[in-house]
Amino acid sequence: MVPCGFRDASRYGRRSAIGLALSGIGVLRTGAVPARAAGPVRLLALGDSLTAGYGLPPGEGFVPRLQAALQARGREVRVLDGGVSGDTTAGGLARLDWSLADDPQAAIVELGGNDGLRGLPPAETRRNLAAILDRLAARRIPVLLSGMLAPPNLGADYGRDFQAVFHDLARERPGLVFDPFFLEGIAGDAALNQADGIHPNPRGVERLVARILPAVEALLDRVTPG
């Protein structure tokens, strides 16, 4: 499923896309932390279509716009695009070792929206995200966890349980930088979204990057030089 669900997502219907089969490629030993070369800080953005810039021209997606914003603030950062359209938390977990091949020094985790759109059990989403966070912690990689909301058509109970996944993980891991809702201020605003009403347009991406930038800078401040 390509889109991530959120407010009033019931009216959008279910859209599908072919995810990339990346699991099992270039597996690293999770216990080994290689020496880090000098140069720009490598920031992994591990996510789904929202990270991948679905439907946007080259250079207008979240990853390139975030990198440009950081560089404009004097940050020497290379943002690694770990976004795969349609990915669930299970997909993100399956390809995590592949995503770590570039030895990132910090990571943004933006996953879960497709779990909610598919109505997957929140407990499953929690297990997958916890495993991702644990693997990153084992490599001493500081993390910004960004949350998502479930489609309201799945009911209030499901919505509460789904949202609680992200808040509980953040509470249990005080070392995380936590962003409660990736699409805050964008979801439901037609002027900031593409025609599907789900994925941000260039204006929406600009708003998203400006909003999340302080949290990303807080994350980068936790990177150990070297």
Of the candidates 8, 102, 134, 196, the residue annotated as catalytic is 196
Judge whether 199 counts as a catalytic residue: yes
* Distance separating alpha carbons of residues 167 and 146, to the nearest angstrom: 10
158 Cβ neighbours under 8 A, 6+ residues apart = 119, 122, 150
* Distance separating alpha carbons of residues 122 and 161, to the nearest angstrom: 6
Q: Confirm if 171 and 137 have CB atoms less than 8 A apart.
A: no
* Distance separating alpha carbons of residues 184 and 181, to the nearest angstrom: 5
Q: Comparing C-alpha atoms, which of 160, 142, 140 is closest to residue 150? A: 160
Of the candidates 49, 85, 99, 146, the residue annotated as catalytic is 49
Judge whether 10 counts as a catalytic residue: no
The one-character DSSP state at 31 is: T
Judge whether 221 counts as a catalytic residue: no
* Distance separating alpha carbons of residues 188 and 173, to the nearest angstrom: 30
Distance, CA of 193 to chain centre? 18
Of the candidates 115, 146, 179, 199, the residue annotated as catalytic is 199
Which of helix, strand or coil describes residue 69?
helix
Placement of tokens 């390139």 in the chain: 64
The one-character DSSP state at 37 is: P
Catalytic residue positions, numbered? 49, 196, 199
